[in-house]
């Protein structure tokens, strides 16, 4: 039973969702445009007897996350692009030690200090590793404040289920905007036993250790194979996407998060002009919804793809791999913190409709 | 026949990999013994760092988390905040704690994080083969100060205990060594006191152990012990820098903590 | 189908962001889809502040507005900046108590209302933006007075409910300036 819709800021909803998911540990460092997550936690976490620590750096914050996760807790940190770069060391260790943790990246424009306005320039970093070594994070891209809530709760379940880092990839738009959100009365919290956690030996005969170091190459290779086997299961079971008007689409837009919202309105405008446009919106960026894209590319009604992103073209590489040359894939992107207008995207659609030569 | 000496149940049976004459074995042992004597073994969670002791979790028989280079105090913070009723300690070397992990140790101390940090200072990077450490003495030859550490070129050693003792959140700071029976017993007392601080909930406890690295110093074990006494102690004087007069087992001693 | 967008802009501290939020709350009370998006970053402190509110029957695409139906300005730099963001036929509302402005566009409706004077008269400067919301409501029908009132009861903590009659008074006075 959902409660009545209330107007809330995306960043605050992330924090509220984490609390509802049973997370009682937050470690972070201030950075625009995600600081409201911290502000919310600083107050609420203390009120409910949880842990809030403003760390001395993002590096330290992610290692506090590592510690709390190793101790068996549900734990959250949030940051924005430059801060997420600093957290990559810890995220790699979290992957190596197979610890459950949720990391939120409210992406801003880069590279370097860049700007503070919305962007999706961290797609590669989020989906291709980011830190050192062969590992994956589950990467979830909500497109609304309501989804920020639901998918943040889900992120904690997935983190515990697979003992790995789940990253929520938002952007400055989603984090800063207010939208109505309806909370559930009861959260679908999945409880996973954590017999591996370092909780003090207590009654246990053997001591538990959490580590990511395996000096023997054969042992480390076996460990890596275990990780890859786990990732294969996730690629099979956890792909999420929204498909929209594919049956008779002439052009299919691929876009995630903020870009998918803008594109949906464009699809309506295009329909009024008699151009049939569909959309595939990846909700999990890793695992990537390759199959639906590949299958859609094979449909005779589909003439072309248009990938829309807030970057120079990052997800388009995964789209092209999935399309695998079956149809042309066009691109429209904005950078620096700018969002594409509906008109820009519509113009691109018209250009492609008219035989596009981009 | 009476048993006069036996392995401590605070350590596993795994043989140590440390070099002959290295002090890590002694320091491991007295920490483990103290945990057992205080009845804390089942409640203890250690944090291993990066350096020669990266796998100390294989030797201690309590729960152990391995941390990234320099980050042990942050990891310990996450653990302790999660399990406030457990005893959490870090075990870190000088490269780890005094170089790459300076921010983490300073801020854990400043927060008065209720953990113990055991800092092993042997004035050199051991595992990566003898590079200059933040604690390398002036004139000391290492693989990255091949002509001896020159203050005008490589700066000065960091006296970490003195530094930490300036922070209000650190309530007990002591520097010890384990060169002989008397010093070992003294070091063990310091370890006990550090755990007592944690049990009292009064703040951050820090014990620095001066230690040898015969391999990277190019000395035999006896020479190394002598070098520690003759060269290191003048730069790093032994003693308690904070909390000496406080009995942390008494709950009303909070007021007496002084800098 | 309603798909309505308004930009509110002025100096930080004039209550721009909360006024925008109240507009969104009122529309939400009517069961509309709404979004509220602030300018954020360094300019938040002492500089200009603005927010974009979108009200729609359909899920909202971009919360960032390129073509606004209405622009409400409480300072001159904002009027100069956002006049260009109006759709043809859009409405520019300014607080004429604070500054004078001559629009360069001829395809818009221009409303000058002495919002700060209304607020001074009612004894609470926070009512300036509320009076402008009254004008917005009356001019466009993007939310009703009744919804605004209900939203106030819902959003304001109980101890501040005594301020609601004053708010409504300001709202009504502002509505008189609709064209």
Over residues A116-155, the pLDDT tens digits come to 999 999 999 999 989 999 999 999 999 999 999 999 999 9
Q: B251 or A207: which carries more pLDDT confidence?
A: A207
CA distances from A326 to A221, A294, A296, A356 (A): 36, 8, 10, 16
Is A4 an interface residue toward C (CB < 8 Å)? no
What confidence score (pLDDT) does residue C3 get?
Answer: 83
**Answer CATH for C3-175 from 3.40.190.10, 3.40.920.10, 1.10.238.10, 3.30.470.10:** 3.40.920.10
Would you state the pLDDT for residue A3?
Answer: 80
B102-110 and A58-70 helices, crossing angle to 10°: 70
Mean pLDDT on B72-87 = 98
b/e map of C155-175 (b: 16 or more CB within 10 Å)? beeeeeeeeeebbbbbbebbb
What's the confidence (pLDDT) of residue A347? 97
Is the distance from CB of A342 to CB of A265 less than 8 angstroms?
yes
Q: Is the CB of A7 inside 8 Å of chain C's CB atoms?
A: yes
Neighbours of chain A (3+ CB pairs under 8 A): B, C
Phi, psi of C93 (to 5 degrees): -115, 130
Name the β-bridge partners of B211: none
User: Token digits for C44?
Assistant: 């938040």
pLDDT band at C1; cut points 50, 70, 90: low
Peptide bond into A33 cis (omega under 30): yes
Looking at the DSSP bridge assignments, the partners of residue A306 are A253, A330
Q: Tell me the CATH number of domain B24-256, given options 2.30.30.60, 3.40.30.10, 3.30.470.20, 3.40.50.970.
A: 3.40.50.970
Is the pLDDT score of A30 beyond 70? Answer: yes
pLDDT over threshold 70, residue A28: yes
| pLDDT exceeds 70 at position A68 | yes
Helix or strand run (H / E) with residue A344? helix A342-353
Residues in chain C closer than 8 A to A342 (CB atoms):
61-62, 66
Q: Using alpha carbons, list the distances in angstroms from residue A42 to A74, C51, C132, C136, C156.
A: 17, 26, 35, 37, 23
B and C touch per CB criterion (3+ pairs under 8 A): no
Class of domain A242-353: alpha beta
Token readout for A107 is 């992406």
> DSSP string spanning B46-71?
EEE-SSTTTTGGGTBSSEEEE--TT-
Q: Does B99 touch chain A if contact means CB atoms closer than 8 Å?
A: no
Using a CB–CB cutoff of 8 Å, tell me whether A10 touches chain C.
no
User: Is A242-353 the same fold as A6-237?
Assistant: yes
Chains that touch B (3 or more CB pairs under 8 A): A
The whole-number pLDDT of residue C44 equals: 52
**Neighbouring-strand partners of residue B176:** B209
- Over 70: is that where the pLDDT of C41 sits? no
Whole-model pTM: value is 0.95
Peptide bond into A287 cis (omega under 30): yes
Q: Give the percent of chain A with pLDDT over 70.
A: 99
Q: Where are the alpha helices (DSSP H) in chain C?
A: 16-29, 76-82, 115-122, 127-140, 145-155, 164-175
**Confidence bin at C66 (pLDDT 50/70/90):** confident
The dihedrals phi and psi of B166, each to the nearest 5 degrees, come to -75, -10
Closest C-alpha to B133, from B150, B108, B158, B163: B158
Is there a contact between C37 and A258 if contact means CB atoms under 8 Å apart?
A: no
3-state secondary structure of B16: coil
Q: What's the CA gap between A14 and A19, in Å, rounded?
A: 9
Q: In what order do the strands lie in the sheet with A329-333?
A: A241-244, A277-282, A251-254, A304-309, A329-333
Pairwise CA distance, residues B205 & B190, whole Å: 10
C23 touches chain A (CB under 8 A): no
What crossing angle do the helices spanning A342-353 and A258-272 adopt, rounded to 10°? 60
Instruction: Name the residue among A33, A179, A264 with its Cβ closest to that of C61.
Output: A264
Mean predicted confidence (pLDDT) in C44-49: 67
Q: Which residue in the set B60, B66, B83 is minimally distant from A71, CB to CB? A: B83
pLDDT tens, residue by residue, A327-355 = 999 999 999 999 999 999 999 999 999 98
Contact C62 A339 (CB under 8 A): yes
Interface check for A258 against chain C (CB to CB < 8 A): the answer is yes
Residue of C nearest to A341 (CA): C66
d(CA A297, CA A282): 15
Check: CATH 3.30.930.10 for A6-237? no
pLDDT digits (tens, 9 = 90+) for A211-239: 999 999 999 999 999 999 999 999 999 99
pLDDT of residue C43: 55
* Per-residue confidence (pLDDT) for residue A159, from 0 to 100: 98
- Residue C14 binned pLDDT confidence (cut-offs 50, 70, 90): confident
* Residue range B232-257: mean pLDDT, rounded: 84
| Chain A residues close to C40, C-beta within 8 Å | 32-33, 116, 172, 176
Distances (CA, A) of A6 to A80, A114, A180, A182, A258: 26, 33, 5, 6, 21
pLDDT above 60: residue B255? no
The residue ranking higher by pLDDT, C151 or C46, is C151
| Minimal C-alpha gap between B163 and chain A (Å) | 18
Beta C109-113 vs C86-95: how paired, if at all? parallel
Measured CA to CA, the distance from residue A302 to residue A296 in angstroms comes to 7
- pLDDT per residue over A180-204, tens digit each? 999 999 999 999 999 999 999 999 9
Q: How confident is the model at residue C165 (pLDDT cuts 50, 70, 90)?
A: very high
ipTM of the complex as predicted: 0.93
Q: Residue B171: left if φ>0, alpha if ψ -120 to 50, beta else—which one?
A: alpha
* Res A34: pLDDT: 95
What band does B258 get if pLDDT is binned at 50, 70 and 90?
A: very low
Rounded to 5 degrees, φ, ψ at A149 are -65, -60
Contact of B111 with B105, CB cutoff 8 Å: no
Return d(Cα C51, Cα A178) in angstroms, integer: 11
Dihedrals phi, psi of A243, to nearest 5 degrees = -110, 145
Calculate how close chain A gets to B19, using CA atoms only, in Å: 18
CB A39 within 8 A of CB A176: no
Q: Tell me which chain B residues have a C-beta less than 8 angstroms from the C-beta of A59.
A: 71, 74, 103-104
Alpha carbons within 13 A on the beta-carbon side of A92: 17
- What the block records as the tokens of B59 is 């030797």
**Which chains border C (3 or more CB–CB pairs < 8 Å)?**
A
CB of A174 within 8 Å of a chain C CB? The answer is no
pLDDT at C176 over 70: yes
CA atoms within 13 A on the CB side of C174: 30
Q: Residue B259's pLDDT is what?
A: 42
Structure-token pair, residue A91: 């995220």
Q: With the C-alpha atoms ordered B111, B112, B113, B115, is the resulting torsion angle positive or negative?
A: positive
Decide if A178 and C41 are in contact by the 8 Å CB cutoff: no
**Do β-strands B239-242 and B170-177 pair in parallel, antiparallel, or remain unpaired?**
antiparallel
Average pLDDT over residues B23-52: 97
Domain ranges, ordered by start, for chain B: 24-256
Mean pLDDT value of segment B196-216: 97
Burial of A219 (0-12, 13-18, 19+ CB in 10 A): exposed
Q: Do C40 and A32 touch (CB under 8 A)?
A: yes
All structural domains of chain A with their residue ranges: 6-237, 242-353
| Cα separation, A200 vs B45, whole angstroms | 6
- Cite the DSSP H helix spans in C11-99: 16-29, 76-82
SS3 of B128, please? Answer: coil
- Residue B66, pLDDT > 60, answer yes
pLDDT at A1 over 60: no
CA–CA separation, B145 and B148 (whole Å): 5
Contact (CB<8Å) A343/C60: no
């Amino acid at each position: 039973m959902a409660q009545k819709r209330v107007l809330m800021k995306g960043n605050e909803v992330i924090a509220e969702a984490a609390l509802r998911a049973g997370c009682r540990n937050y470690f972070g460092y201030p950075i625009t445009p995600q600081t409201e997550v911290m502000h919310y936690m600083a107050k609420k976490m203390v009120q409910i007897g949880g842990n809030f620590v403003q760390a001395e750096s993002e590096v330290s914050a992610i290692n506090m996350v590592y510690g709390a996760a190793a101790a068996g807790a549900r734990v959250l940190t949030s940051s924005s692009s430059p801060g997420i770069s600093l957290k990559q060391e810890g995220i790699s260790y979290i992957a190596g030690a197979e610890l459950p943790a949720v990391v939120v990246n409210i992406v801003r424009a880069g590279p370097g200090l860049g700007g503070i306005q919305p962007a999706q320039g961290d797609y590669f970093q989020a989906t291709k590793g980011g830190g050192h070594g062969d590992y994956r994070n589950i990467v979830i891209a909500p497109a609304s404040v309501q989804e920020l809530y639901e998918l943040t709760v889900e992120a904690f379940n997935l983190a515990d289920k697979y003992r790995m880092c789940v990253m929520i990839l938002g952007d400055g738009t989603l984090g800063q905007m207010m939208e109505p959100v309806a909370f559930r009365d009861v959260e679908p919290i999945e409880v996973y036993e954590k017999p591996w956690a370092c909780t003090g030996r207590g009654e246990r005969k053997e001591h538990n250790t959490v580590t990511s170091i395996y000096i023997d190459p054969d042992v480390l290779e076996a460990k890596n194979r275990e990780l890859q086997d786990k990732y294969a299961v996730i690629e099979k079971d956890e792909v999420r996407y929204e498909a929209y008007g594919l049956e008779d689409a002439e052009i299919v837009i691929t876009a995630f998060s903020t870009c998918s919202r803008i594109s949906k309105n464009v699809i309506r405008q295009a329909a009024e002009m008699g151009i049939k446009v569909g959309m595939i919106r990846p909700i999990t960026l890793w695992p990537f919804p390759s199959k639906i894209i590949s299958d859609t590319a094979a449909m005779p009604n589909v003439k072309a793809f248009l990938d829309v992103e807030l970057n120079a073209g990052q997800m388009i590489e995964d789209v092209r791999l999935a399309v695998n040359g079956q149809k042309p894939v066009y691109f429209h992107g904005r950078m620096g913190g700018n969002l594409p207008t509906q008109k820009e995207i519509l113009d691109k659609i018209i250009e492609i409709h008219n035989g596009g030569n981009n | 026949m009476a048993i006069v000496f036996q392995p401590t149940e605070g350590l596993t049976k795994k043989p140590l990999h440390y070099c002959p004459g290295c002090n890590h074995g002694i320091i491991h042992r007295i920490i483990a013994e103290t945990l057992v004597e205080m009845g804390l073994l089942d409640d203890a969670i250690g944090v291993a760092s990066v350096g020669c002791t990266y796998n100390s979790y294989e030797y201690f028989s309590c729960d152990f988390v391995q941390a990234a280079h320099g980050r042990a105090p942050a990891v310990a913070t996450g653990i302790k905040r999660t399990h406030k009723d457990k005893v959490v300690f870090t075990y870190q070397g000088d490269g780890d704690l005094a170089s790459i992990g300076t921010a983490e140790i300073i801020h854990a101390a400043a927060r008065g994080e209720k953990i113990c940090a055991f800092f092993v200072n042997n004035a050199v990077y051991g595992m990566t083969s003898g590079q200059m450490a933040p604690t390398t003495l002036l004139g000391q030859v290492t693989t990255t100060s091949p002509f001896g550490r020159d203050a005008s070129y490589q700066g000065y050693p960091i006296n970490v205990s003195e530094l930490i003792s300036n922070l209000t959140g650190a309530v007990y700071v002591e520097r010890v060594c384990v060169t002989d029976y008397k010093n070992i017993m003294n070091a063990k007392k310091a370890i006990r006191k550090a755990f007592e601080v944690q049990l009292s909930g009064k703040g951050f406890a820090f014990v620095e152990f001066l230690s040898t690295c015969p391999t990277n110093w190019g000395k035999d074990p006896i020479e190394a012990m002598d070098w520690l006494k003759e060269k290191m102690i003048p730069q790093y004087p032994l003693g308690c820098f904070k909390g000496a007069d406080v009995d942390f087992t008494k709950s009303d001693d909070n007021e007496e903590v002084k800098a | 189908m309603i798909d309505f967008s308004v930009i509110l802009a002025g100096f930080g501290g004039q209550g721009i962001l909360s006024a925008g939020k109240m507009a969104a709350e009122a529309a939400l009370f009517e069961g509309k889809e709404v979004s509220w998006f602030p300018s954020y970053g360094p300019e938040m402190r002492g500089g200009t502040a603005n927010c974009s509110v979108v009200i729609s029957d359909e899920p909202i695409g971009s919360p960032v507005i390129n073509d606004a139906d209405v622009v409400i300005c409480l300072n001159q730099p904002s009027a100069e900046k956002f006049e260009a963001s109006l759709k043809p036929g859009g409405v520019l509302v300014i607080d004429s108590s604070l500054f004078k402005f001559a629009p360069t566009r001829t395809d818009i409706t221009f409303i000058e209302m002495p919002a700060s004077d209304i607020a001074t008269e009612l004894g609470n400067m926070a009512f300036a933006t509320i009076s402008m919301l009254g004008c917005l409501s009356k001019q466009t029908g993007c939310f009703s007075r009744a919804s605004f009132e209900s939203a106030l009861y819902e959003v304001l903590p109980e101890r501040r409910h005594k301020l609601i009659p004053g708010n409504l008074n300001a709202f009504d006075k502002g509505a008189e300036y609709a064209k």
